[in-house]
Amino acid sequence: MLEIEPATHDQKPVLRLTGELTIYAVAEAKGLLSEALDRHPALNLNLAGVEEMDTAGVQLLLWRTARRWWKCSTF
Amino acid sequence: MDFDRAKQTYIIEARELLDSMEDILLTLDQQSDPQEAVNAMFRAVHTIKGSAGLFGLDGIVHFSHAAESVLDRARGHQLEFGGDLVALMLEVHDHLAALITSIATGTTDSAGTQNEGGRIQARLQSYLGGGLAKNAPGAQSAAILAAPAGQQASGGRDCWHPSIRFNPDVLRNGMDPLSFVRYLATLGEIVHLTPVIDQLPERDAYDPEECRLGLEIELDTQADRATLEDVFEFVREGSLIRLIPPHSRMEAYIQLIRELPEEDRYLGELLVAGGCLTAHELEVALKLQHNEASEGGAVQGRMLGTIVIQENAVPPPVVAVALEKQKKFQERQAQELKVVKVSADKLDRLVDLVGELVIAGASSHAKAGRSGDAALLEATVVVNKLVEEIRDNALSLRMVKIGETFSRFRRIVRDVSKELGKAIELQIHGAETELDKTIVEKLSDPLMHIVRNAIDHGIEPADLRRARGKPESGTQTLQAGHESGSIVIEVSDDGGGLDKELSSEAWSRRAPNWVTRRSST
């Protein structure tokens, strides 16, 4: 199970992910992540609570940062 | 491709890179953009290292890696690029130059060279010491998944290079590419791993359950091809999997670049990041291929095509497309390269032939004049005019700017003045003056003696200068310019001047055309 909840850290928007970021959750996570990123382009992700991640999860995290890849994005 | 020729190219290019590195180091305080200067040095060392890896020159890879790491930290503002570091980098430069020379002459490094290398390396390490943990997680973008990529020079190791583009359905089929990576890690050490994300669709086109990732891996392993192929047994269907064995030549990688869906440049950069190829080698390789193609005509073209067919059993039309793609790439490279290297022999031959052409042209012109045929005479006039233009052009081909020779003296002035404890500034004027290359080369040595002499004996120690009412820092000037049809090269200093009696005798005997002038400040 994956839970995604918005939070703030130093007054900056943070999306906290907890649980399993795997193929089973990526479809749902994509929607939430995409929405949050549209609202805050400079969103920080807190992955401290992620217990398991597979390729689909990694790919999801890379997806919206892909175009900024070489510009040293922080995610 | 002829490996030895590629190596020759490497030696030439490495020397050029070292020259530019030295130039940057010596003019660092005059650079308008110090950051870019450090970047340029980093790129130079990185390229030398990467190419050395390709030729299996482990000594150079190992040594330049340490220097590269230090430069990388300077680039990231973790290190102040100050006087001590400049001095150290100059030593790095000298040592690399010595290593390159020993490769060029085919001699092995002497024990002395090796000791020197070890000593410099130890000092480089002191700049790196302990601070590696400072690299904040995420601060380095490209190498996120990479093993301690910064610490291992992958280029010098015998690595397999698996290149994988997964079938998009691989995740839906219940397989996780990460598990292959984990399994690969049990077969050997993953030296470098770059996820290729170029094929990830933007925004809504992205289906999170499809796998659009690719992997470029450097794997240091003893396993054979069959074992590695077995790893990918279950994903082979629909995926693009290439295994490039250790010690592969550049073609294999270039082939790979052309096969894969991503843009050439992007892939090239990935391979560079993995240490198996440098962007520079890419250019060298394509250039060499191009040269051979123009010399060997269709033969080379057919050979490349044959390789493609053998390796991948692709139908001939695809080969044509691949060659076309390569050609486009070459053309783009050609636009970027504004300088063409031609061997001096070829130029000499051209100049000789043009000389013959001028004579033959003049004789035909004279004969035409005698024949009284006006139309023929007119034609020979046109021909002669063209021949003259060709002659002028051909002769100017050999002309090079003297500035490069001059700037070599920055180093000499710097080193000698440090040695003697004098503060000396080198001023260069007329660096753009052009001279025949052979003359420039021959000038280099005598100029060196003159400059050294001026620094040694001409410019006085600081206290004497003060006593004579001169600024403490001496000035050494190198100047070149045209003067009534000649090129005048002037070496002057604001020192005590030459002993008149001694000098008039010595100079008239040895170099009567050189002007020496007593300076008065």
pLDDT for residue B386: 92
Q: What is the DSSP string of B361-420?
A: HHHHHHHHHHHT-HHHHHHHHHHHHHHHHHHHHHHHHTEEETHHHHHHHHHHHHHHHHHH
Name the band, by pLDDT with cuts 50, 70 and 90, for residue B249.
Answer: low
Strands B474-483 and B486-493 turn out to be: antiparallel
pLDDT bracket for residue B359 (50, 70, 90)? very high
The count of other CB atoms within 10 Å of the CB of residue B364 is 15
- How many contacts does A have with B, using Cβ atoms within 8 A? 62
Name residue B491's beta-bridge partners.
Answer: B478
B433-461 pLDDT, tens digit per residue, is: 888 888 888 888 888 888 888 888 888 88
In angstroms, the CA B56 to CA B155 distance is 8
| % of chain B residues with pLDDT over 70 | 69
Query: Is the Cβ–Cβ distance between A2 and A60 less than 8 Å?
Result: no
Q: In chain B, which residue's Cα lies nearest the Cα of A27?
A: B208
**Which one of B142, B171, B204 has the shortest CB-CB distance to A55?**
B171
Residue B205 contacts A where some CB pair is shorter than 8 Å: no
Query: What tokens were used for B88?
Result: 């150290």
Q: What is the pLDDT of residues B38-64, one digit of tens each?
A: 888 888 888 888 888 777 777 888 888
Residue B53: its pLDDT value, please? 78
Would you place residue B357 in the very low, low, confident or very high pLDDT band (cuts 50, 70, 90)?
A: very high
The Cα–Cα gap between B471 and B469 comes to: 7
Tens of pLDDT along B463-491?
888 888 888 888 888 888 888 888 888 88
Residue B139 has pLDDT above 50, yes or no: no
Look at the pTM and tell me if it is higher than 0.90: no
Q: Residue holding tokens 């044959």?
A: B306
**Backbone torsion region of residue B174, taken as left when φ is above 0, otherwise alpha when ψ lies between -120 and 50, otherwise beta:** left
Whose CA is closest to B427, among B446, B405, B410?
Answer: B410
Mean pLDDT of B212-225: 80
Strand-pairing partners, residue B486, are: B483
User: Which residue does chain A place closest to B266, by CA atoms?
Assistant: A70
Determine the pLDDT at residue B136: 35
- Nearest Cα of chain B lies from the Cα of A49 at a distance, in angstroms, of 17
- Residue B234 scores a pLDDT above 80: no
- Say which CATH topology domain B3-131 has: Four Helix Bundle (Hemerythrin (Met), subunit A) (1.20.120)
Nearest-CA distance B301 → chain A (Å): 35
Hey, is the C-beta of B203 within 8 angstroms of any chain A C-beta? Answer: yes
The larger pLDDT score, comparing residue B247 to residue B196, is at B196
Domain ranges of chain B: 3-131, 154-285+325-336, 344-397, 400-510
pLDDT at B154 over 50: no
Sorting pLDDT into bands at 50, 70 and 90, what band is B306? Answer: very low
Q: Which among B128-142, B160-174, B279-293 has the top mean pLDDT?
A: B160-174
Alpha helices in B260-373 (DSSP H): 264-274, 279-296, 298-312, 316-336, 344-371
CB B71 within 8 A of CB B40: no
Phi, psi of B24 (to 5 degrees): -60, -45
Cα separation, A58 vs A20, whole angstroms: 12
Q: Per-residue pLDDT tens for A28-64? A: 888 888 887 777 777 777 888 888 888 888 888 887 6
Amino acid identity at B8: Q
The model's confidence at residue B322, banded by pLDDT at 50, 70 and 90, is low
Q: What are the chain B neighbours of A64 within 8 Å (beta carbons)?
A: 203
Mutation target for A interface from B166, B180, B200: give the one with most A CBs within 10 A: B200
Do residues B160 and B219 lie in contact, with contact meaning Cβ atoms separated by under 8 Å? yes
Query: Which among B433, B514, B413, B518 has a CA at the least distance from the CA of B473?
Result: B413
Of A26, A73, A74, the CB nearest to B209: A26
CA-nearest residue to A38 within chain B is B203
- Cα torsion B118, B25, B470, B518 to 10°: value is 100
Mean pLDDT (chain B) is 73
Work out the pLDDT band at B149, boundaries 50, 70, 90: very low
Predicted confidence band at B353 (pLDDT cuts at 50, 70, 90)?
very high
B25 confidence band (pLDDT: 50, 70, 90): confident
Q: What is the pLDDT of residue B216?
A: 82
Structure confidence at residue B90 (pLDDT): 86
Q: What's the CATH number for B400-510?
A: 3.30.565.10
Q: Which of A30, A66, A70 sits opposite B208 (nearest CB)?
A: A30
Regarding an ipTM greater than 0.85, the answer is no
**pLDDT band with cut points at 50, 70 and 90 for residue B333:** low
Classify each residue of B471-485 as buried b or exposed e, where b means 16 or more C-beta atoms within 10 Å of its C-beta.
eeebbbbbbbeeeee
Q: How confident is the model at residue B87 (pLDDT cuts 50, 70, 90)?
A: confident
How many angstroms away from the CA of A19 is the closest CA of chain B?
A: 17
Model confidence at B141, in pLDDT bands (50, 70, 90)?
Answer: very low
> In A, which residues are within 8 Å of B204 by CB distance?
34
Cα angle B477, B482, B486 (rounded to 5 degrees) comes to 110
Question: How, if at all, do strands A2-9 and A44-53 pair?
Answer: unpaired
Question: B55, B46, B60: which is closest to B247 by C-alpha?
Answer: B55
Residues of chain B contacting A4 with CB distance shorter than 8 Å: none
SS3 assignment, position B189: strand
Helices B403-420 and B437-453: crossing angle, nearest 10°?
Answer: 20
Tokens in use for B351?
Answer: 């100049």
Residues on A contacting B at a C-beta cutoff of 8 Å? 23, 26-27, 29-30, 34, 54-56, 58-60, 62-64, 66-67, 69-75
CB B498, CB B459: distance < 8 Å: no
* Range B366-381 average pLDDT: 89
Confidence of residue B170 (pLDDT cuts 50, 70, 90): confident
The answer to whether the CB of A3 falls within 8 A of the CB of A17 is yes
Residue listed under structure tokens 């993995």: B274
Which residue ranges form the domains of chain A, and what is each CATH number?
2-71 (3.30.750.24)
A54 CB-near residues (< 8 Å, 6+ apart): A21, A22, A23, B171, B176, B178
Q: Do residues B502 and B458 make contact, with C-beta atoms less than 8 angstroms apart?
A: no
Encoded tokens for B282: 């890419």
Which token pair is B443? Answer: 């000038």
Cβ contact, residue pair A69, B141, below 8 Å: yes
Q: What is the reported pLDDT for B155?
A: 43
Angstroms from B269 CA to nearest CA on chain A: 10
Token reading at B147: 């093993």
Q: Per-residue pLDDT for B145 more than 50?
A: no
Cβ pair B273, B194 in contact under 8 A: yes
- B206:A58 CB<8 A: no
Q: Which of B173-187, B193-207, B371-385 has the lowest mean pLDDT?
A: B193-207
The reply to whether B298 touches chain A by the CB within 8 Å rule is: no
pLDDT reading at B140 higher than 50 = no
B165 — pLDDT class (breaks 50, 70, 90): confident
Give the count of beta carbons closer than 10 Å to the beta carbon of residue B170. 22
The nearest CA of chain A is from the CA of B232 a distance in Å of: 16
Q: How far is it, in rounded angstroms, from Cα B145 to Cα B328?
A: 33
Confidence band, pLDDT 50/70/90 cuts, at residue B75: confident
- The reported pLDDT for the residue numbered B517 is 53
Nearest to A55 among B177, B198, B204 (CB): B177
Q: Return the CATH fold of B154-285+325-336.
A: Alpha-Beta Plaits (3.30.70)
- Structure token digits, residue A26: 């990526």
Is A56 within 8 Å of B198 when comparing Cβ atoms?
no
pLDDT for the residue A75: 37
Q: Which two tokens stand for residue B200?
A: 């990830």
Q: Is the pLDDT of residue B260 over 70?
A: no
C-alpha span between B386 and B384 (Å, rounded): 5
Closest Cα in chain A, distance from residue B140 (Å):
7
Q: What is the mean predicted confidence (pLDDT) over B142-161?
A: 46
* B213/A29 CB distance under 8 A: no
> CA B171 → CA B182, B211, B226, B410, distances in Å?
16, 6, 24, 61
pLDDT at B356: 92
> Which alpha helices (H) appear in B55-110, and where do they start and end?
58-75, 83-104
**Residue from B197, B204, B234, B269 to probe the interface with A (highest A Cβ count within 10 Å):** B197
